[in-house]
Structure 1
Amino acid sequence: MAGLLTIILNWRTAEMTLRAAEAALTALQGVEGALTIVDNDSGDGSFERLSAEVVARGWDKGPQAVRVLQSGRNGGFGAGNNHGIRAGMPDGSRPDYVYLLNSDAFPAPDAIRALLTHLQTHPATGFAGSYIHGPEGDPHRTAFRFPSILSEFEGQIRFGPVSKLLARHIVARPIPTETTRVDWLAGASLMMRQSVLDQIGLFDERFFLYFEETDLCRRAALAGYPTDYVVESRVMHIGSVSTGMKSWPRIPRFWLDSRLHYFTKNHGRAYAAGASLATLAGGALWRLRLLIQAKDRGDPPRYLRDLTAHHLRHLRRNVGRSGSAKAMGKDH
């Protein structure tokens, strides 16, 4: 069995995951493949609930065989999806394509086929993602450029002339009005060529949440397989249901870990330090403006202090490891 493997990752959103699976199954009619729901060790009865519902609804016997897997640990977005990808098709074979759908995302009836057709007709493209919109039809920005020192500065200073000067470095691109090539896409609705994953590897599981899609798309691009944004594929996305991002009282450590790991892994420690300094410089200038302008700060409380403290902790840890390694070398 080959074809398309659809994966929906669940973490404590069983009812919404079932709704997403139902929408996916409608969109998958006539497409050869299977659908896997991975419960990311929710610990709230989600796995049992999902397993029972799949059988009760007859989805396990349908043309798109649905199964529910337990990851056994909550390793984050990348680790959970990797578990489903590694499991492959129900008969043990490897799919030709893998489609990731968020548990709070609902594809239009032709959305999945549009991505599949795009990859089938564009063999040089590695990944393809959808036009994402909210429940009221409001478009979401999900097409991005790779982050850089300049994008970190621009994102924090929030000053029109600087943004105009650095327009080609702004991470969030204007929402495309036609199918186009991008650096990376959010993983709410993302289709990937299995042969590309075989070549570059799966998600880096050192990212718990955030930056894992950025890193994967960058690795694909470096291997010669770009990512395309397909406007014909429309998916409604509620957003932040599992992560609670919209209500963060402070920036969580896992986000800071992912950000620092992305820059360090892809550009080195010196560049990562430069990116953090650019963030601090832009943020400081923005906060000076706030002293005379009544505007929303735009960041969680203590964002710059938390980012600085986080980076310094990692610097001290690296220095400590380096010192230990040298000491061990002398001992031997």
Structure 2
Amino acid sequence: MSLSVIIVNWNVKDLLRDCLRSVFASPLDPPPEVIVVDNASADGSPAMVQREFPQVNLIASPRNLGYAGGNNLGAAEASGNFLLLLNPDTRLHPDALHLLRDYLLDHPQVGVAGPQLLWPDGRVQSSRRRFPTPATLFWESTLLEQWFPGNAVARRYRFEDVPPDRPLAVDWLVGAALCIRREAWQAAGPLDESFFMYFEETDWCRRCAAAGWAIHYLPQAKVVHYEGQSSGQVLAARTLRFQRSKIRYAEKWFGRGWAIAVRLFLLATFGLQWLEESAKWLIGHKRPLRRERIAAYGQVLRGLGVGSEE
């Protein structure tokens, strides 16, 4: 049964090279089809792929389609029975591909299998999730979590009550590496491109589960993830996209009232952080750092304002 690997790249040429090397070093029969969708990179990524990996199907988009748009474009070109959505800032352990594919072959009710993600130093990354509740949107990755780290809402959301070395049926998995049965992809439909970045895999897994497919975490398959190397290049933009996607998810799954509440909450909390940094700047505390943070929080606040556009 054939596997198509889809990698969406934006300006991480060197990491992409290492990722592709790990894919082609993986013993898999038949060998995987590999598709790279380049989102208008300016670092020479397309030329590197053409020069060093001529066997790759390279799709060079003239504009940045985001994670969702890029993967949808790659999936439309893919011919495999299974699709592996793989971030370019990853490196596969040698047996990861066949473990993921064979798990889906052996478990016909499972639509998605995801590996254990590792930091480069070998520590386990948090990648298992329950579906967000309205409470999750206020308590996870917000100022409240900074004030109350390890709060019960965030811990439950991240499955921190279950050891990371245990195979597990989950609600959704972080999208750095997702092995998807084609029938599940067709049942759920493509990724929702209104989520430019973040929450698109959450939304898709929710639709996949609603279509009757199980989603499993397989810790025996391991993938190193250099998290946030593409999206982290512009931190304020990354934060803004994450929070906009959170609001979009709230509106899609919980209704407009919850979306308004989340937006107002985020405006209030980022406003507090902007005021705190401004006060520290006024008293002369690490002014270059404070100036940078004031600008970043200001950009996020403007972007989250009512009527703001992508």
Question: 1:1-332 residue pairs with structure 2 within 5 A?
Answer: 3-55=2-54, 60=55, 66-89=56-79, 95-155=80-140, 156-158=143-145, 163-164=151-152, 166=153, 170-174=156-160, 176-244=164-232, 248-249=235-236, 252-276=239-263, 310=303, 312-314=305-307
Gap change, CA 1:239 and 1:251, over 3 Å in 2: closer
Distance 1:171 1:303 in 2: 28
Aligned-pair CA distance for 1:284 = 9.5
Gap change, CA 1:307 and 1:272, over 3 Å in 2: farther
Distance 1:7 1:250 in 2: 24
Gap change, CA 1:253 and 1:176, over 3 Å in 2: same
Distance 1:112 1:264 in 2: 36
| 2:258 partner letter | Y
Moved over 3 A (4+): 158-162, 249-253, 274-287, 300-312
Distance 2:262 2:238 in 1: 17
What is the number of residues matched between the two proteins?
A: 290
TM-score for both structures, normalised by structure 1:
0.76
Aligned-pair CA distance for 1:217 = 0.6
| 1:47 partner letter | P
Distance 1:162 1:186 in 2: 19
| 1:9 partner letter | V
Contact 1:256–1:310 under 8 Å retained in 2:
no
Distance 1:240 1:116 in 2: 26
Gap change, CA 1:207 and 1:32, over 3 Å in 2: same
Gap change, CA 1:279 and 1:312, over 3 Å in 2: closer
TM-score for both structures, normalised by structure 2:
0.81
Deviations, residues 56-85 of structure 1 (Å, cap 9, x unaligned): xxxx2xxxxx32221332110111111111
Match of 1:327 in 2: none
Contact 1:200–1:223 under 8 Å retained in 2:
yes
SS for the counterpart of 2:65 is coil
- Unaligned segments of structure 2, at least 5 residues: 275-292
Contact 1:153–1:281 under 8 Å retained in 2:
no
Root mean square deviation of aligned Cα: 3.2
Counting aligned pairs with the same residue, the percent is 30
Distance 2:24 2:106 in 1: 23
Aligned-pair CA distance for 1:213 = 0.8
Aligned-pair CA distance for 1:278 = 5.7
| 1:236 partner letter | V
Contact 1:8–1:36 under 8 Å retained in 2:
yes
Distance 2:202 2:303 in 1: 21
Deviations, residues 116-162 of structure 1 (Å, cap 9, x unaligned): 11111111111111101111101111111222221133334346699
Gap change, CA 1:114 and 1:308, over 3 Å in 2: same
SS for the counterpart of 1:274 is helix
Contact 2:4–2:84 under 8 Å retained in 1:
yes
Distance 1:226 1:285 in 2: 41
State the structure with more CA Rg: 1
Aligned-pair CA distance for 1:27 = 1.7
